[in-house]
Amino acid sequence: MLTECVEALDVADTVGAAVLVDCTLGLGGHSEALLERYPDARLFGLDRDPEALVRSRARLARFGDRFEAVHAVYDELPDVLAERGVKRVHGVLFDLGVSSMQLDMRERGFAYAYDAPLDMRMDQTAPLTAYEVVNTYPVGDLARILRDYGEERFAKRVAQAIVAERERAPIERTGVLAELVRSAIPAATRRTGGHPAKRAFQALRIEVNGELEVLGRAVPRAVDLLAVGGRVAVLSYHSLEDRWVKRVFAAGAESTAPRGLPIAPPGTEPVLRLLTRGAQEPTAEELAANPRAASAKFRVAERVRTGSVRARLDA
């Protein structure tokens, strides 16, 4: 949804040089399109994956000092901007989940379709790997992760199968884990819904990288850094991600005044305006060109006045 992302963060009317942030830089495709579309803008690209930073810096070197790549997790955005003397931004983009680069690098262990070491770290300097989760977490914690992060109906069965197998020998490879998950799921269920290990691998990746905890901190912080008129756009690929984004946007788009008051007291007015009705989904043309976008949900909100969304969520 490249076109939608670029058009959502429209800074053409910004007075002075606009500041944009790509919180999930990856290979730099979104950042490149934004820098081309808005030639006066300055853009910071954040990514926790050192390999992505190397590749995106090479790709975007032609933009000179209009672009800076930063090794950081996106909930660290306030610190990243403060270190550079930036107080307000005009557009923030999140493209959540695992990147195509990470999926396609077989040795990273993200994909159930390839046999590789169990890793799944977006930042390979981080200590926790999928191997540690699979081989050391108690059965109850494994079942919770599979249920909550993967929405796996047979979470308990899969968790029990993992624990039984690791008692014989450590589970070291994605191929072994994928087959173990497939065998633990009833045959009738395996006939539909894609690869049986898809949900388990998603759940493990989210746990290894702390994705939902990071997202829970990052989106409110990003909204609170927006200048009035600035926009935040989020592409999510998981129902838990989308529900959280929806909650943050709704908190900003509603008045906090008690119901029934004829006039909203100062400070209670909405601070956001929703620019998408519900969540926008990929077109048929997009899906034909990029099947990995099938689960994408796109939401955009615009800052209409000052006020803290984080404070509203905490209230």
Annotated binding-site residue numbers for S-adenosyl-L-methionine: 28-30, 47, 74, 95, 102
Give counts: helices (H), strands (E), the chain: 15, 7
How many CB atoms neighbour CB 230 within 10 A? 24
Annotated binding site: 28-30, 47, 74, 95, 102
278, burial (CB in 10 Å: exposed 0-12, middle 13-18, buried 19+): exposed
> Is there a contact between 20 and 91 (Cβ–Cβ < 8 Å)?
yes
End-to-end CA distance of the chain: 34
Long-range contact set of residues 279-287: C-beta below 8 Å, sequence gap at least 24: 279/242, 279/246, 280/1, 280/4, 282/1, 286/1
> Is there a contact between 77 and 222 (Cβ–Cβ < 8 Å)?
yes
Tell me how many degrees the CA angle 160-161-166 measures, rounded to the nearest 5. Answer: 100
Instruction: Supply the DSSP string of 195-236, one letter for each residue.
Output: -TTHHHHHHHHHHHHTHHHHHHHHHHHHHHTEEEEEEEEEEE
Q: How far apart are CA 153 and CA 146, in angstroms?
A: 9
